[in-house]
Chain A
Amino acid sequence: GNSVTQMEGPVTLSEEAFLTINCTYTATGYPSLFWYVQYPGEGLQLLLKATKADDKGSNKGFEATYRKETTSFHLEKGSVQVSDSAVYFCALRLTGGGNKLTFGTGTQLKVEL
């Protein structure tokens, strides 16, 4: 079946530190890959996406590259801020099968001053 595996949190960083959140996937076919962010008490917002191998998604200083050879889509940011504290979800979506989004378990990020 299709699945997404994320590193467990919480991840605690100091402001301006470098962030990596690992994400790997298993899929029957060629999925599109997404990162969503959930700020405290809010819904999920699309952060970035990549639809084919070697694509790089980027938004708000965050980046992730679709690596087919390692089935990975790791999220990175060069310098985190306190306002980046949230839960980050990696997800995949295949064409067909109802087009559902399959999520990883989420990684909580805490950024401290």
Chain B
Amino acid sequence: DTAVSQTPKYLVTQMGNDKSIKCEQNLGHDTMYWYKQDSKKFLKIMFSYNNKELIINETVPNRFSPKSPDKAHLNLHINSLELGDSAVYFCASSQEGGNSPLHFGNGTRLTVT
């Protein structure tokens, strides 16, 4: 009955490869997000989708391409992986409205070697 689930939990890959991270939420929320957490624990928004439409794209390299097949899913595809992409990526979802909290998945730890 996990609310926001993302897979895989760990991802180790070599530079230049292409990889995807999947995210699903069963909370009925309209908005989903991807955040990146760096080695110093700093969290930065990458993308936000509302009802399958992109509404935030925060100067992320175009090697990163989010895809939302429906409002319950938001996947993240990364092309030509670089060492600097190593981080923990968190998916989240929320209802509309600024007073609603975001619900986070458990994260995907990406290591690029």
A residues with CB within 8 A of B: 31-32, 34, 36, 38, 42-46, 49, 51, 87, 89, 93-96, 98-103, 105-106, 108
Give the interface segment out of B62-70, B73-81, B102-110: B102-110
B56 A44 Cβ-Cβ under 8 A: no
Complex CA–CA separation, A89 to B102 (angstroms): 13
What is the interface of chain B, defined by CB distance below 8 A to chain A? Answer: 31, 33, 40-45, 48, 50, 55-56, 90, 92, 94, 96-107
Q: A43-B104, A49-B101 are in contact. Are A105 and B42 (CB under 8 A)?
A: yes
B96 contacts across to A, CB distance below 8 A: 99
Chain B residues with CB under 8 Å of A87's CB are 41
A94 adjacent to B98 (CB under 8 Å): yes
Q: Is the interface of A mostly helix, strand, loop or mixed?
A: strand
Q: Is there an interface contact between B45 and A100, defined as CB atoms closer than 8 Å?
A: yes
Closest B residue to A103 by beta carbon equals B43
CA–CA, A102 to B43, complex, Å?
Answer: 8
Which of chain B's residues have a CB closer than 8 A to the CB of A89? Answer: 43
Asked if B101 contacts A105 (CB within 8 A), the reply is no
A34 partner residues in chain B, CB cutoff 8 A:
101
